[in-house]
Structure 1
Amino acid sequence: MSAPPQRLRADELMSAVASVVATEPDMIADMANIAAMIFEALPDLNWAGFYIWKENQLVLGPFQGRMACTRIAYGRGVCGTVARERRSLVVPDVHAFPGHIACDAASASEIVVPVIAGDRLLGVLDIDSPVRDRFSDADRIMLEKIVDLLVQAISATAV
């Protein structure tokens, strides 16, 4: 029987993300790799991925995990609220969040970080866990730095 995969420390995850996005300016490709790295690196997750801002709503982008909601209205649920407020939210108990959208009934806590380039909303990074109170302020800070790396990579080639 093989051993379970080793989890990356926060600094190792940041380094891995920086390395991958440094050579790839395509937003979708970077989002796909970031979602995979987060899903593999962080314990107790059941979903990690992105929603992309299109046509005044959030549309499902690259992710790892169970099937997800395809479209989320602006201001609705945790992701839509983050899109509207343009600030990260750590939700210890999603069932207590007003207007929570239950894409996966197994999710118990959530952290969502906006992806913003300049003043333009590009989407959100959404991470779910089946464990209540899974996410800390340290997780928020790390994920915000990961999103910053993504934005820097895709902005470097924007004219």
Structure 2
Amino acid sequence: MFQAQVYSGDKVKDFELLLKQLKALSEGETDPIAIMANASALLNQFLPDINWVGFYLWKDDELVLGPFQGLPACIRIPFGKGVCGTAIKERKTKRVADVNQFPGHIACDSASRSEVVVPLIINNEIYGVLDIDSPSTNRFDKTDEVYIEKFAKIVEGFLS
């Protein structure tokens, strides 16, 4: 059973608690949309200074909008385009301090200034991405990247 917890202000300790909360929320659930919807809601309430968090799913050789929290977003992102499409093409996390400096950035929300995108790979197949945007430049640091990757791995485990 999921129980809301109070965060301590210690970034690493709080991220560890977040991972436990994700596991508690997802335990026993098999519906991928429900899992991703709760995961995006959990990140949205946990992460300060973000304006969009959600999933894009790999369908017919492009990323298609999935469960998210935030303003309406681009519905489709081509392979290799923007931060999300590049993360899929390279199959690695992209942490971008200033999206305006990223070649080919797709501005779904003009307020977004920085972004972190983690590809979801299940059984060596592209599943989609976890995408988080912030209205501040340099919002995401290495600790954020490491724990958001851990978060994404847990999500992958529930989706496989």
State the distance in 2 between where 1:79 and 1:87 align.
10
Q: Who is 1:129 aligned against?
A: 134
Contact 1:115 1:125 (8 Å CA) reproduced:
yes
Shift of 1:153: 1.4
SS of the residue 1:90 aligns to: strand
Shift of 1:56: 0.4
Shift of 1:154: 2.1
1:43 to 41, 48, 59: 48
Cα separation, partners in 2 of 1:109 and 1:131, compared to 1, 3 Å: same
Aligned partner letter, 2:76: R
Q: Who is 1:52 aligned against?
A: 57
Identity of aligned residues (%): 48
**What do the CA deviations read for 1:140-159 (whole angstroms, capped 9, x no partner)?**
1111111111111122xxxx
Shift of 1:25: 1.9
Q: Who is 1:83 aligned against?
A: 88
Q: Who is 1:139 aligned against?
A: 144
Aligned partner letter, 2:139: R
Q: Who is 2:111 aligned against?
A: 106
SS of the residue 1:25 aligns to: coil
Where does the alignment leave 5 or more consecutive residues of structure 2 unmatched? 1-5, 9-13
State the distance in 1 between where 2:79 and 2:159 align.
23
**What do the CA deviations read for 1:58-111 (whole angstroms, capped 9, x no partner)?**
000000011100000000000000011110010000000000000000000000
Where does the alignment leave 5 or more consecutive residues of structure 1 unmatched? 1-5
Superposition misfits of 4+ residues, deviation over 6 angstroms: none
So what's the TM-score if we normalise by structure 2? 0.90
> Aligned residues, how many?
150
SS of the residue 1:34 aligns to: helix
State the distance in 2 between where 1:149 and 1:89 align.
18
Q: Who is 1:25 aligned against?
A: 30
Aligned partner letter, 1:29: A
Aligned partner letter, 2:116: I
Shift of 1:18: 1.0
Contact 1:27 1:154 (8 Å CA) reproduced:
yes
SS of the residue 1:143 aligns to: helix
Indicate the RMSD between aligned Cα atoms, in angstroms: 1.1
State the distance in 2 between where 1:12 and 1:65 align.
23
